[in-house]
Structure 1
Amino acid sequence: MSSSDQDDAPDGGEDSPLFRRRGPSSADIAEIPVSQSFIKAASNVGFSLFVLAVLVVTVVAVTYQPPDPWLQSSAAITTSLSRVLPNSTYLVPDDSLLPTGEDFNSSSVPAPARADEPDEAPVVPASAAANATACDPDAPLNCSDPRVLAAVKAFNAKAFFRRSIVFLSYEAPVPGPKPGVCDVAWRFRNRKERSWRRYRDYRRFILAPGEGCALEITKVGKFRSGINAARRPQRKGPKSPRVKAPVVDAEINDTIPVVGSEAEFKRGKYLYYMRGGDHCKSMNQFIWSFLCGLGEAKFLNRTFVMDLNVCLSGAHTPDGKDVDGKDFRYYFDFEHLKESASVVEEGDFLKDWKRWDKKKGPGRITVRKVPSYKTTPMQLKRDKSNIIWRQFNGQEPENYWYRVCEGRAAKVIQRPWYAIWKSKRLMNIVTEIAGRLDWDYDGLHVVRGWKAQYKKNYPNLDADTSPDALAAKVPTLIKPWRHLYIATNEPFYNYFDKLRSHFHVHLLDDYKELWSSNSEWYNETMALSGGKPVPFDAYMRVIVDTEVFYRAKTQVETFNNLTRDCKDGINTCNL
């Protein structure tokens, strides 16, 4: 082959494709600018640091175990519930509201996605609805006209834009008492309530023709004024026109779950806590202990046997005496609890146990009795018995339920705070009060009671919350003539009269009809108590009072804004 042929060969020339596929020569490398080399090296180092950071974050996320979210911080846990006396009696004062799962950001279980309930109800412009159908301006108003609902949606979207209300769904408008008036009902939730419960409102709207075919709302009634849109419960038997059926919340379902059959009962695995020393203690200690048992049941993958009977501490009764026989459902949402955790009611459980247990033979129900809290949940993890029966027969504080979750067990038992919500019956009263104030009010929390008299730990509280001090301080914090809701444990109704010259003052006792003998709450609690009247006790007042305060636009707290004293006494402000 000639030299010219070699030059023309496919792999011989510098311009050939094979030559271009080869790596760069040393001359080419020398020609690469230093800046490009530096950029390439820096990008490699940056990518390596990024990968390392992702790895560290992943390891931390997998291994980190958050503490129980009491008041949303571990420091608050140390200074409240986990702070005990040498005899394990709580220091937490009974005049403070017990936070529940719906009050926490970190451990609350989010609401499941529901296709039928959008987070924001779509608002249809009134003009769009008007263009959809032909209209006659002189024709009488028909509440079933789509323009009515479109006008109501547009009005609500504008009126409640800054009031933390999320509209979920609307019901068909119904005629009011006279022409031009329609009653409309809808479901909503409040952004300040972290649970995903729904509430109902129904209002009366007066409408008039607007521009073109649109309708304009000229007047709107107050909260739940549209009584024609309120659903009445279906009564069985002959109708009596003289009896007015009370409006009830048809969405509450706190019936007691039952075991269906003997086979189902024997297949189940149960954790049964016998009543201990927590009974008749403060509500804070009761729930702290109850969640310990519920957390152990979850850890052991068992159904928790719970007693719906609650003993109300004398701290919440007029005469200071403990009151036994209260129903758990008066204070907490049992429907949500049984949806969030596996529970059975103690009374039915013991009946089924006695009925289906065979003392001898293959059908016997196996039981593991645990006499002391010192037997840890980890030691019971592999137990195959049908029933693990924890017995708390010792003396206080050895017989407190929460002792099970102390020590090494505290690292493995996570209290299911998300399972405990406040009673929807009480929250309906909260919604009623806030609704009557049109969700546009400010709040003042005035703590007095025994703290104001305990000068050793609270030397300034009494003077800083006196009528004269409040009249001088509060107007500097809240705009004049606003609706002001005062949440307080001060028993004298006229104590805040000096504030009435500056604000429209509202107190819980202004709404006594919401728990009177004609109220929805009264009828619903009567059904739980077997027909016996249920008193609206002091702990119920604390729940309602504080929850209404939490929904205020501006919130003035006693220990943050009104007094120099610390919430838990002298030298505790920084804890």
Structure 2
Amino acid sequence: MKDSHSHPSSSAAAATTAAEPIAQNMIKLISNLCFSVFVFSVLIFTVIAITYQPPDPWLQSAPALTTLFTQSENATFHIDTSIIKTGEDISPSPQDPPLPFPSQSAAAPAVTEAVIEKAEERIANLTPPLASPADSDDAVGVVRGPCADAAAAGTLNCSDPRVLIAVERFNLRTFKSIAFFDYQTPVNGSTADECDVAWRFRNKREKSWRKYRDFRRFKLQLTDDCKYKVVHAGRWHSGSNARRNPALRPRNEGARSGANGKGKALPKISNRDDEINDTIPTLGSAINFRNGKYLYYSRGGDYCKGMNHYMWSFLCGLGEAMFLNRTFVMDLSVCLAATYNPSHKDEEGKDFRYYFDFEHLKEVASIVEEGEFVRDWKKWDKTHLKRNKVPVRKVVTHKVTPMQLKKDKSTIIWRQFDAPEPENYWYRVCEGEAAKYIQRPWHALWKSKRLMNIVTEISGRMDWDFDAVHVVRGEKAQNKELWPHLDYDTSPDVLVEKLKGMIQPQRNLYIATNEPFYNYFDKLRPNYKVHLLDDYKELWGTTSEWYNETTLLNNGKPVEFDGYMRAAVDTEVFYRGKTHVETFYNLTKDCKDGVNTC
């Protein structure tokens, strides 16, 4: 019996022993498989990280861009033109370059509380204290004055450095979104207790290094214990005595280098921006021309397309020139597409400098204007023997890649775009394999500073304290098939209800919109201080700085403030608002690019 009972136990033990190696092998097999999957995943991720080229920054998402540029049968832009972005909106702010400014260091840092405290220390070391420490007052905007006798006499010495310190502190406290630079010594205002002060500044949200001017009138009080205090500050550009002397400004901006000087003289405009330099660079001599290397794009199918299309193509050409280490030959003549014109017709002969910052482009890229380039080219070929003519490589198709041209020794690489659309679009050069090598230099393309001066003027008149709403209407509101709810969601009654929950009542409200009827937003006025672009028409009217300077660029002919300029200014003022309300994110559930594109 004992043996019969022990046999089953032995069998079970043997089975257990045999099963253990199988289980262990299975665990090892699964572990090895998981480890292999992990290693393979890491390998794939590493390859992607090395080879991936990030897309150019743009208004649209990467999938939207892919869709736009892979549909060759309709490879043009059909995106929202009521919001316009350029390089200063999408690239990081670079280090400030040297910018000359009278009696100030070009690279002077922003005025901060720490800078003010150091200035006070220097003043204290130079001047003995005029009141006991017990009388000190650390309130913002209050510093020591020169003497109690002056307070009793009611006189104010605007050149006293303590006046400037009081103004600097007041500005820091009042305008928190502004970085201040290059204060000038205060001068007398209109009465004995007023001083006019000028400075340069930049909005902290702006990503470019450009600076703008303001000059305001301040009423200051000199207290009995010799301290300065700002008791009232004037509005934007109210300090007229601190504006620069217009007689000292240069008068050659916008003219071609070597011009005969017979053009119309500019009227004296006291607020003119002296730092804009729109002069067209010249090659200097025939020898300089022959020793250069150029990339020349003939006009293609991009001409008279929308401005977003233009920028996409232009930056492709400029990016290829940088890749090839060549000077880019650019045509300053722009054709403005019908969508921006009241006539609904394309308008040729617009100047690049109306819309973009040519001075900045010259600083960051090697460029030459097409007219100057062709003139020097013809002059060289005409005065030299045939065997010494300029070597030219003509490229008749975009399928010849920049990589294939990298080692070409020709003085001129001439890309010709004579094929039918869309084969004749400049941006086709940067497609496919070339996209891995050509980076569009977005940092080179900024909005015109003349337009940005209008933006600054509008924002300054609202004392930089406003909220903004972007209301897309126009043709989109009428297209119920693609945007079924947009018209209703942006109607006046609905806007009033929606904005009540987003913006405090009686705030300054700037409305960036393509709605053509000025009175459309009147129902918002009882609740907000409504501002529209057309409220500031005098900034581009016949007596404005913008009007006179663009007229000079256009050989004495007035320039229209067109739809693209309106959209550019609207966009930038919108960005400077403290609260942003977007049409397709806050006001409607419709998709930005139409039904089912969210």
Same fold, TM-score > 0.5, yes or no: yes
Contiguous gaps of at least 5 residues in structure 2: 1-43, 100-104, 131-145, 252-266
**Which aligned pairs between 1:304-343 and structure 2 lie closer than 5 A?**
304-343=328-367
1:86 is aligned to: 73
The 1:84/1:206 distance shift into structure 2, 3 A limit, reads farther
Mapping of 1:6-25 within 5 angstroms? Answer: none
Query: How many angstroms does 1:90 deviate by?
Result: 2.4
Give the aligned partner of residue 97 of structure 1. Answer: 83
Report % sequence identity: 61
CA contact (8 A) 2:156 2:222 kept: no
For residues 340-397 of structure 1, the C-alpha deviation after alignment (integer angstroms, 9 at most, x for no partner) is: 1110000011111111125635532111111111211111111101001111112211
Partner of 1:369: 394
Distance in 1, matches of 2:436 and 2:55, equals 9
Change over 3 Å in CA distance of 1:328–1:531 after alignment to 2: same
User: 1:160 maps to which residue?
Assistant: 175
Aligned to 1:503: 528
Equivalent residue runs for 1:480-559 within 5 Å: 480-559=505-584
Inter-partner Cα distance in structure 1 for 2:301 and 2:403: 23
Q: Distance in 2 between matches of 1:401 and 1:555?
A: 35
1:159 CA displacement: 1.0
Partner amino acid for 1:98? I
Q: TM-score, normalised by structure 1?
A: 0.84
Change (3 A) 1:213 1:70: same
Please list the CA deviations of residues 143-185 of structure 1 after superposition, one character each: whole Å capped at 9, or x if unmatched.
Answer: 1111110111111111113xx2111221111111221111101
Whole-angstrom CA distance in 2 between matches of 1:214 and 1:63: 64
CA separation of 1:160 and 1:389: change in aligned 2, threshold 3 A: same
1:280 corresponds to 2:266: no
1:77 aligned residue (61, 65, 79): 65
Partner SS for 1:99: coil
1:437-456 aligned at under 5 Å gives the runs: 437-456=462-481
Query: Does 2:220 match 1:213?
Result: no
Q: Is the 8 A contact 2:72 2:422 kept in 1?
A: no
Superposed CA deviations along residues 187-241 of structure 1, whole A, max 9, x for unmatched, are: 111111111111111100111113622211111101111111111332799xxxx
Residue correspondence of structure 1 range 172-211 to structure 2 within 5 A: 172-210=185-223
SS of alignment partner, residue 148 of structure 2: coil
Instruction: Check 1:119–1:568 CA distance in 2 against 1; reply closer, same or farther (3 A cut).
Output: farther
SS for the counterpart of 1:506 is: strand
Distance 1:443 1:537 in 2: 22
Compute the RMSD of aligned alpha carbons: 2.5
Tell me if structure 1 keeps the 8 A contact 2:219–2:233: yes
Q: CA deviation at 1:63?
A: 5.9
The match for 2:147 among 128, 136, 140 is 136
Distance 1:206 1:60 in 2: 63
Distance 2:582 2:209 in 1: 26
Aligned to 1:477, which of 489, 502, 512?
Answer: 502
| Residue 303 of structure 2 is aligned to residue 303 of structure 1 | no
Q: Distance in 2 between matches of 1:466 and 1:484?
A: 17
User: Aligned with 2:348: secondary structure?
Assistant: strand
Structure 1 window deviating more from structure 2 (278-287 vs 97-106): it is: 97-106
**Native 8 Å contact 2:91 2:442 kept in 1:** no
1:393-445, CA deviations, whole angstroms, 9 ceiling, x for partnerless residues? 12211211111111221121111111000111101110111111111110011
SS at match of 2:246: coil
Match of 2:431 in 1: 406
Q: Give the aligned residue type for 1:156.
A: N
Q: Which amino acid aligns with 1:464?
A: D
Q: Alpha carbons of 1:109 and 1:379: their partners in 2 closer, same or farther (altered >3 Å)? A: farther
Equivalent residue letter for 2:547: Y
CA-to-aligned-CA distance 1:521-550 (integer Å, 9 cap, x gap): 111111211111111111100000111011
Whole-angstrom CA distance in 1 between matches of 2:201 and 2:45: 38
| Secondary structure in structure 1 of the residue aligned to 2:511 | strand
Q: Measure, in 2, the Cα distance between the counterparts of 1:128 and 1:210.
A: 21
Note if 1:417 corresponds to 2:432.
Answer: no
Look up the equivalent residue of 1:82 and give its one-letter code: F
Alignment check: 8 A CA contact 1:187 1:201 kept: yes
- Asked if structure 1 preserves the Cα contact closer than 8 Å seen for 2:468 and 2:511, the reply is yes
1:84 CA drift (Å): 4.0
Residue in 1 aligned with 2:291? Answer: 267
TM-superposed deviation, 1:122: 4.0
Contact 2:397 2:416 in 1 (8 A): yes
* Equivalent residues in 2 for 1:343-358, closer than 5 Å: 343-357=367-381, 358=383
Tell me if structure 1 keeps the 8 A contact 2:82–2:472. Answer: no
Provide the rounded CA distance (Å) in 2 between the counterparts of 1:509 and 1:191.
Answer: 26
